[in-house]
Amino acid sequence: MFLKYCGFQSEDDVTRAIENDIDAIGFIHYPKSKRHQSIEDIAQLTKLVPEKIHKVVVVVNPTNEIVAKLIEETNIDTIQFHGHEDVALLRWCNSQYPGIQIYKALPASSELVEAIETYRNEVDLFIIDTPSIHYGGTGQSFDWQLLKQLSDVPYLVAGGMDLEKIQQFEQLDIQTTGFDIASGIEVEGRKDSQAMKQISNYIKERDKNDERNNTTHSN
- Whether residue 47 contacts residue 39, with contact meaning beta carbons closer than 8 Å, is answered with no
Give pLDDT, residue 80. Answer: 98
Global confidence as pTM: 0.92
pLDDT tens digits for range 152-209:
999 999 999 999 999 999 999 899 999 999 999 999 878 999 999 999 999 999 888 7
**Does position 25 have pLDDT exceeding 70, yes or no?**
yes
The domain locations on the chain are 2-218
Decide the pairing of beta strands 186-187 and 190-191.
antiparallel
Is the pLDDT at 216 greater than 70? The verdict is no
Average pLDDT, the chain: 93
Tell me which fold the domain 2-218 belongs to.
TIM Barrel (3.20.20)
Q: How buried is 51 (Cβ within 10 angstroms: 0-12 exposed, 13-18 middle, 19+ buried)?
A: exposed
